[in-house]
Amino acid sequence: MIERQRKRRRVAPEIAILATSILVAVTGCSNANSTAKPATPASLTGAGSPVPVIDAAVRDNPLIEELNRNLAYAVTDDEMGVVVDATQEGVLQCMRARGFDYTKIVGFQLVGDRSQHPLDIDAGREFGFHFVPISPPPNPNEDRIQSVSYADALCGSDERDGCEQLASQLVASYEVDYLIAYYALDALLVDAVNEAKTSESVLASESSYRRCLSDQGFDPDDFASERYAFQDQAAVSTEEVHAREIDYECDVETSRTASFSESLRTAYEQFVESHPQDVKHAVEMKQSYLRSLGELVTEIRSGTVTVDG
């Protein structure tokens, strides 16, 4: 259980913590021999900010990730380090209480896969339509986690939650107010992005792009499905690379990505200008959240807050 010498905060079950999916990947819990259920991870981009729920062709554009990272109320990579540090401090204390050594993971490092930029043809020739893997940083506890007892203590078992999960839940209890403010703006941002997607210039470029695909022997109505079918294959085929090169050539020729990028940047700028008070409130909630995590680290180190199973 998590023991705290002050008022507990109720954690909304549908709100996932920002750091969990990063920590599970880095600590090795996702690969450990454990039946524990980790906390539900957030839909992370590079900075911990969810991507608006819109159609896949737009969602996969890394420009969305770039623009999300630049929003004043989004958690930056540097700020994500604060989240990771607070969680790691809790894991360290918990593992020590359970009789194990643990080396903290320092700072935020993105792990997993990332989308390709549509105009990154070098990546396209290597990976086709597949996501580009990001190698996780070295795990300082990799040798230790090979032990079943250590893995159970860190990652959990049928009998008890793991230290990683307990620490993540504690950090999650501090982020609720911030995420409520974030998602309120995120819902409005979806509309702005969809408006950008249907602007006159974007629709004209999309129409030209579809004609280009057709001229190259591809059915534009089936091309998206073929793309995702390629992604499901274990290996990148010559056929996939050829399709990716045609996709790139048609994109450049018709200014498909360039047109959408310009429209999208304008939509983000107008969105921020149209919601100054909401943005200010979300920024304040983020700053309060990060300050609270800094205080939490001090409290864990002093023993005022304990994380133990």
pLDDT in tens, 97-146: 999 999 998 766 666 677 788 899 999 999 999 988 877 778 899 899 99
Quote the percentage of the chain above a pLDDT of 70: 78
Cβ neighbours for 115, distance < 8 A, ≥ 6 positions apart: 60, 61, 62, 65, 131, 132
- In the predicted model, what is the mean pLDDT of residues 60-73? 77
Q: What one-letter code names the amino acid at 210?
A: R
Amino acid present at 277:
Q
For the residues 78-107, what does the mean pLDDT come to?
Answer: 91
Quick one: residue 217, left, alpha or beta (phi over 0 = left, psi -120 to 50 = alpha)? Answer: left
Q: pLDDT tens-digit profile of 37-53?
A: 322 222 222 233 333 33
